[in-house]
Amino acid sequence: MGAVRRTARQHGCVIDAQLDALARLAGEGAVVALSGAGLSTESGIPDYRGPSGVARRHTPMTYQTFVGDPLARRRYWARSHLGWRQIARAEPNVGHRAVAALEASGVLDGIVTQNVDGLHQAGGARSVIELHGNLDRIVCLACGEGTPRDRHDDRLRVANPGFDAEILAVNPDGDVDLDDSALDGFLPVDCTTCLGGVLKPDVVFFGEAVPVDRVRDSYALVEGARLLLVLGSSLTVMSGRRFVLRAAKLGIPVAIVNQGETRGDAYADLRVDAPLGVVLPQLAARITALPVASSR
């Protein structure tokens, strides 16, 4: 037992030292955050690959399948209809609020998020680039008309009265796992503007390209940074990792806070392996006592 306590204390000392180093780096200002699903786990939204990730029972929906297979699209909307309720009920956690506090203090210039849950904004952040979109918007693939998700949800409820299947698991991208038998008879709805256009959440599906303007704006934000701070991302996919590679190429320091290894660790000047709900509030508290540089 004594050895366990000593190990815990030693681990705590290591984290404190890393936090002090991170506070010194970030306290100079001009920080850009790149956030991933790990930041939202404490809000009840599981991540893809981290400690709280859930094993998927189905293959993630691809853009090609969604637009080309009406049956697959119906199944997606049934799962997403119930999954949206889980996302809509989620509240920003202390990590989101700490990030917003860093922005409000002038330390953080902006956030590039891979998340589609809108929790950064709900937590008070203002300068957010939603790289993969947001689940609270619906777009018609035929005419481009946008619709708020709550209005679309109302239409699905009317078209499917009493639909309330048992949820087997919640997925990070806003859908859920259901028994196949529960999907029978579910009716998706089409666009009411162009009368029949296929509706899709305004998020980037697997196999779909991130809009060019978002990538351009994200690169510009990162290239103007003094520090790139990665929060809760395994950096497994190139969509987020490319910004770490660009920062490293330009000599911009990279700090990573994530539970578990990431594919960007080789480029990190500082690495903190600890829960974001612990690290970020402490980081914000440390930085408030540090002067913020006015320019790079």
pLDDT higher than 60, residue 26: yes
> What domains sit in the chain, N to C, each tagged with a CATH number?
24-45+92-132+210-296 (3.40.50.1220), 56-89+135-203 (no CATH)
Q: Are 104 and 124 in contact (CB under 8 A)?
A: yes
* Whole-number average pLDDT of the chain: 87
Q: In 10 A of CB 266, how many CB atoms?
A: 9
Least confident piece of the model among 11-20, 43-52, 133-142, 189-198: 43-52
Provide the annotated binding site for Zn(2+): 140, 143, 191, 194
Least confident piece of the model among 79-83, 90-94, 178-182: 178-182
Residue tagged active-site, from 96, 120, 132, 152: 132
Of the candidates 100, 101, 99, 133, the residue with the CA atom closest to the CA atom of residue 118:
133
Least confident piece of the model among 10-24, 29-43, 93-107, 182-196: 10-24
The verdict on whether 132 is a catalytic residue reads: yes
Provide the annotated binding site: 140, 143, 191, 194
- Tokens read off for 38: 């790990």
